Structure 1
């Protein structure tokens, strides 16, 4: 069974951009490795060992990102008035008077500091398919809390 990774078009584009950047950097890393290799005895050549490790990390990251794209399921945001993947929501937490805005994204894109929460996180699961005005209970590891959906964009 193949597991597809859900993500927004922005998340997909971000991975494509990183792959392009890494591919552009690869020739420079290969050149550094070749220069280090020409320095002589490889068993005691720290520059060679480091350059080989760095190139290996780059190649590994490229393979990983390539698989992310291969198994990506890009979900376009659709505003049916309910919270969905790609939606931006304004939330009011029960213990706070101010509101916070989050975009619902795929697991790989989640970054709370940037206002992005995963659709399958406790918060994401609780608000998915809900409408503005709904109050839901979020079952989180640290305990349950309530949140009201003020707006779905």
Structure 2
């Protein structure tokens, strides 16, 4: 069974951009490896070992990102007023009076520091397909809490 990874068009583009950066960097890393190999005895050549490891990490990352693109399911947003992938929500957590804004994204794109929450996180699952004005209970590993959806953009 093939599992497709849901993501926003922006998330798909970010992966494509990272692949392009890595491919552009690959020739430089190959030259570093070749220069280190030319130093001689490979058994005690830390420059060679590090260069080989770095190139291996780059190749591995390229393969991983390539699979992410291959199995990506790009989800376009609908203007239906409901929380969904690609939309931005304004939330009010019931334990304080502050509101916070989050973009609902795919699992690979999630980054709380950038205000991006995965649709399949506990918070994401609780608010998906809900409309503004709805209060939901979020069942998180650290405990349950309530959140009100102030706006869906």
Q: TM-score range by the shorter chain?
A: over 0.9
Give the CA deviation at 1:113: 1.1
Partner residue, 1:45 = 45
Mapped to 2, the partners of 1:139 and 1:37 lie a distance apart of: 54
Gaps of 5+ in 1: none
Mapped to 2, the partners of 1:83 and 1:76 lie a distance apart of: 13
Partner residue, 2:142 = 142
Task: Kindly tell me the number of residue pairs found equivalent between the two proteins.
Answer: 153
CA contact (8 A) 1:79 1:87 kept: no
CA contact (8 A) 1:33 1:48 kept: yes
CA contact (8 A) 1:109 1:118 kept: yes
Gaps of 5+ in 2: none
Mapped to 1, the partners of 2:22 and 2:148 lie a distance apart of: 42
Q: Deviations over 1:112-144 (max 9, x none)?
A: 111100000000000000000001111111111
Q: Secondary structure at the match of 1:139?
A: strand
Give the CA deviation at 1:79: 2.0
TM-score normalised by structure 2 residue count: 0.98
Q: Deviations over 1:62-108 (max 9, x none)?
A: 00000000000011111201001111000001011011000000011
TM-score normalised by structure 1 residue count: 0.98
Q: Secondary structure at the match of 1:100?
A: strand
Partner residue, 2:109 = 109
Q: 4+ runs of 1 displaced by more than 2 Å?
A: none
Q: Secondary structure at the match of 1:151?
A: strand
RMSD value over aligned CA atoms?
Answer: 0.6
Q: Deviations over 1:37-85 (max 9, x none)?
A: 1111111111111111110000000000000000000111112010011
